């Protein structure tokens, strides 16, 4: 139905001109199947292909900004800001309105077993997608679950295995915040896994501060706090800082992320510290181990694996309105347009006008031979001051510093190298930042040394309109292509390569290839056969953030344990596996058992031949295709 919708709507609306995503400033964005659904400021929904970004359809009928949009069995439903009227289209694509006749507005929509759950300020109702009949929650949920869910906001998710539903109820109020500057209202969160309309398994409960409740006209809250029965006035909240997926629940608080991964029939809770305080950001979205939210005008991608953050800074002022995380990055709608931000593709950053940098200690360490040469000078603050004092301007200071690090040659001076340096949108150690008369060098971890007025100062990285970033240093891949380095030096300085084709943004043409059906592509050695048996023993293990057992694991937990079973010790986190001081670096042909470490979003997988990988993703440990991947650090730990 979704494909049929995409094909027919443009044909039946010949008077509706195609819309370019880059020029569409939306009010909300969701990804459903192969469609990106963008709600507009004037009550319409525009659909795009999630992979290519091609325009698909426009649905009209609403008034005012779209508050939320979803799809059930290929039928799109949406609701506008401040409204309790749901919108859809009939079989002739004419607008249809379903009035819920409730107090207050609808805040969220969720698909649920052939129905749309409309989460209002005072109650949640179910609308049958076929008949459009409106029903109370106890018609689609077990009565005991529906009773609890009627006492506060509800979050829900439905997939082929059934549904997950969460009740968020007011429990009380702290006398002082649990986090500096945090909220005081206390919420009790309860979750169930639901099969059909009559069977539900309680997964657990948790007490946490998620945001401030607002009084609303709903039933009294009756909850247990230990052995005590607590009664509270009904309250509602936005819950834009809480997101639910098949892996579990993620909630952003003042300074941290709360993770509630599902482990078979129960749940566990974890806290992840983050270098960018989320401050209850109301546009959270996550996919696997990558969570996305906005921080002021910055887009943030946080790793739920190790807590590191990538920050995307706009070069022109634009408000980030909403985010929809996908496997390779996120779809983002802003006050200036809608963009597919592919985390490992520089061209998508350029199209969106974004510059990315990573906040982590690892990003402040040199990753290449030339970066190591420069690092000897960038780490000496006094030396930087002396270079600045004897340089007439910022550019001269940068040239003098690069020259001191012996990055120029008799044939190619540093000035000539800078003149030919390529513009980049993902900051790496040693990149040159230019903004007016001020020049600087990137130090990693969100800092730069800035040269201006014959002074050098280490400051937070500053990206804005008129700022450009160029890469004068050569990566190890470029040096290897030029045969400038050899052998073991590479083990100290790994670098990503293309998969089955070159990736121009890497600055070199090195790529690995798979050859299905050849001898090296299948397990042959004793080690490879042992690894094959170990992998098969993990297939079907549920995905759990931070997990390392067969009760639940994440991507690096699976790879680490599979290799441990055959006597090879690897680090715990994905990027550390890429930098492990054992094994070799692969730059030519893939072999069974090679490990692919993807830098962004952070992920790791094992190559198992025939163009496939074994990996832990949101659906659990299973097999995937290598064809959808563009680049990786490839390591070989088997003999």
Question: Alpha-carbon distance 96 to 100, whole Å?
Answer: 13
The rounded percent of the chain whose pLDDT value lies above 70 is 93
Judge whether 542 and 263 are in contact, CB under 8 Å: yes
State whether the Cα torsion 3-9-11-17 is positive or negative.
negative
pLDDT in tens, 60-104: 988 899 999 999 988 999 999 999 999 999 888 889 999 999 989
Reported confidence tier of residue 264, pLDDT bands at 50, 70, 90: low
Mean pLDDT of 100-122: 94
Mean pLDDT lowest for which of 234-243, 303-312, 400-409? 400-409
Mean pLDDT of 130-136: 95
Q: Is the pLDDT of residue 325 over 50?
A: yes
Q: Is the pLDDT of residue 485 over 60?
A: no
pLDDT in tens, 201-244: 898 888 999 999 999 999 999 987 778 888 999 999 999 999 99
**pLDDT score for 227:** 81
**pLDDT score for 224:** 77
Question: Alpha-carbon distance 324 to 340, whole Å?
Answer: 9
Reported confidence tier of residue 490, pLDDT bands at 50, 70, 90: very low
Residue 617: both structure tokens together? 């993703």
Reported confidence tier of residue 520, pLDDT bands at 50, 70, 90: confident
**pLDDT score for 257:** 95
Q: Is the pLDDT of residue 488 over 60?
A: no
Q: What is the full DSSP assignment across 178-237?
A: SSTT---EEEEEEEEEEETTTEEEEEEEEEE--S--EE-S-PPEEEEETTEEEEE--EE-
Burial classification of residue 603, based on how many CB atoms lie within 10 Å of its CB (0-12 exposed, 13-18 middle, 19 or more buried)? buried
Question: Alpha-carbon distance 83 to 101, whole Å?
Answer: 10
Judge whether 313 and 627 are in contact, CB under 8 Å: no
Question: Alpha-carbon distance 380 to 401, whole Å?
Answer: 12
Reported confidence tier of residue 481, pLDDT bands at 50, 70, 90: low
Mean pLDDT of 603-619: 94
Q: What is the mean pLDDT of the chain?
A: 88
Domains of the chain listed by start with CATH number: 1-140 (2.130.10.10), 369-473 (3.90.1720.10), 494-636 (3.90.1720.10)
**pLDDT score for 210:** 94
Q: What is the full DSSP assignment across 481-534?
A: HTT-S-TTHHHHS---EEESS--GGGSS--EEB--TTSGGGS--SHHHHHHHHH
**pLDDT score for 383:** 82
**pLDDT score for 62:** 84
Segment 341-344 long-range contacts (CB within 8 Å, at least 24 positions apart)? 341/299, 341/312, 343/290, 343/301, 343/310, 343/600, 343/601, 344/598, 344/599, 344/600, 344/630, 344/631
The rounded percent of the chain whose pLDDT value lies above 90 is 59
pLDDT in tens, 8-29: 444 445 556 788 999 999 999 9
For residues 138 and 198, which has the higher predicted lDDT (pLDDT)?
138
Reported confidence tier of residue 377, pLDDT bands at 50, 70, 90: confident
């Amino acid at each position: 139905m979704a494909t049929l919708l995409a094909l027919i709507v443009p044909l039946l609306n010949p008077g509706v001109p195609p819309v370019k995503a880059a020029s569409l400033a939306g009010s909300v964005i969701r990804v459903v199947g192969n469609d990106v659904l963008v709600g507009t400021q004037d009550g319409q929904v525009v659909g795009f292909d999630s992979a290519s970004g091609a325009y698909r359809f426009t649905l009209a009928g609403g008034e005012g900004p779209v508050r939320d949009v979803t799809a059930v069995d290929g039928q799109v439903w949406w609701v506008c800001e401040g409204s309790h009227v749901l919108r859809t289209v009939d079989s002739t694509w004419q607008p249809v309105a379903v009035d819920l006749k409730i107090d207050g507005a609808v805040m969220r929509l969720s698909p649920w077993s052939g129905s749309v759950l409309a989460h209002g300020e005072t109650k949640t109702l179910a609308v049958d997608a076929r008949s459009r009949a409106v029903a109370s929650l106890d018609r689609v949920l077990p009565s005991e679950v529906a009773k609890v869910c009627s006492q506060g906001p509800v979050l829900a998710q439905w997939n082929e295995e059934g549904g997950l539903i969460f009740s968020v109820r007011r429990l009380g109020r702290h006398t002082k915040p649990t986090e500096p500057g945090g909220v005081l209202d206390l919420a009790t969160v309860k979750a169930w896994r639901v099969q059909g309309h009559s069977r539900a398994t309680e997964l657990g409960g948790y007490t946490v501060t998620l945001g401030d409740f607002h009084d609303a006209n709903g039933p009294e809250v009756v909850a247990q706090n230990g052995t005590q029965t607590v009664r509270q006035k009904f309250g509602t909240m936005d819950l834009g800082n809480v997101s639910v997926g098949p892996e579990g629940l993620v909630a952003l608080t003042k300074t941290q992320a709360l993770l509630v991964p599902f482990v078979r029939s129960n749940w566990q809770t974890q806290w992840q510290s983050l270098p960018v305080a989320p401050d209850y950001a109301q546009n959270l979205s996550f996919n696997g181990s990558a969570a996305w939210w906005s921080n002021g005008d910055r887009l943030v991608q946080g790793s739920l694996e190790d807590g590191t953050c990538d920050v995307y800074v706009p070069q022109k002022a634009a408000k980030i309105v909403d985010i929809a995380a996908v496997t390779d990055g996120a779809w983002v709608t802003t006050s200036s347009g809608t963009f597919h931000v592919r985390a490992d593709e520089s061209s998508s950053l350029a199209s969106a006008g974004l510059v990315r940098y990573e906040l982590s200690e690892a990003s402040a360490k040199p990753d290449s031979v030339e970066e190591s040469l420069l690092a000897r000078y960038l780490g000496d603050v006094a030396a930087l001051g002396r270079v600045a004092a004897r340089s007439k301007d910022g550019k001269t200071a940068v040239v003098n510093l690069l020259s001191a690090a012996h990055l120029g040659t008799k044939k190619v001076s540093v000035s000539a190298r800078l003149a030919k340096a390529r513009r980049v949108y993902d900051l790496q150690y040693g990149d040159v930042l230019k903004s007016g008369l001020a020049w600087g060098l990137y130090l990693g971890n969100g800092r730069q040394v800035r040269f201006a007025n014959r002074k050098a100062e280490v400051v937070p990285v500053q990206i804005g309109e008129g700022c450009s970033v160029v890469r004068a240093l050569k990566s190890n891949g470029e040096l290897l292509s030029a045969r400038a380095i050899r052998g073991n030096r590479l083990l100290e300085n790994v670098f990503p390569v293309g998969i089955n084709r070159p990736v121009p943004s890497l600055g070199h043409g090195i790529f690995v290839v798979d050859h299905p059906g050849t001898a090296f592509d299948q397990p042959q050695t004793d080690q490879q056969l042992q690894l094959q048996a170990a992998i098969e023993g993990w297939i079907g293990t549920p995905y759990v953030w931070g997990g390392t057992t067969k009760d639940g694991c994440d991507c690096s937990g699976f790879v680490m344990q599979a290799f441990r079973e055959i006597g090879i010790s690897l680090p715990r986190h994905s990027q550390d596996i890429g930098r492990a001081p054992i094994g070799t670096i692969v730059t030519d042909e893939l072999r069974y058992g090679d490990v692919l470490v993807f830098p962004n979003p952070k992920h790791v997988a094992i190559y198992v031949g025939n163009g496939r990988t074994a990996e832990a993703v949101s659906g659990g440990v299973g097999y995937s295709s290598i064809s959808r991947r563009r680049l990786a650090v490839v390591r070989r730990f088997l003999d």
